Amino acid sequence: MMKRHLPVFILIFIFAANVFGQDSTEKDLVKKAEFVIKLIKNTEWPAENAGGNDTFVISVIGQASFVGKLRDLAATDTKLKKTIEIKALSVDDDFSGSNIIFMGENDLSTLAQVLKRIENRPILTITDIDGLARYGVIVELVSDNEGKGKVDFIINKMVMKKAGLNISEDLIKQAKKTYGK
Q: What CATH number does the domain containing 102 carry? A: 3.40.50.2300
Strand, helix or coil for residue 180: coil
Q: Cα dihedral sign for 22, 87, 164, 113?
A: positive
Q: Which domain holds residue 53?
A: 2-179
Distance from C-alpha of 157 to C-alpha of 138, rounded to nearest angstrom? 7
State the pTM of this model: 0.82
Question: pLDDT tens digits, residue range 47-73?
Answer: 876 555 678 899 999 888 899 999 998
Give mean pLDDT, residues 154-160: 97
Quote the number of domains for the chain.
1
Closest CA to 138 of 34, 108, 118: 118
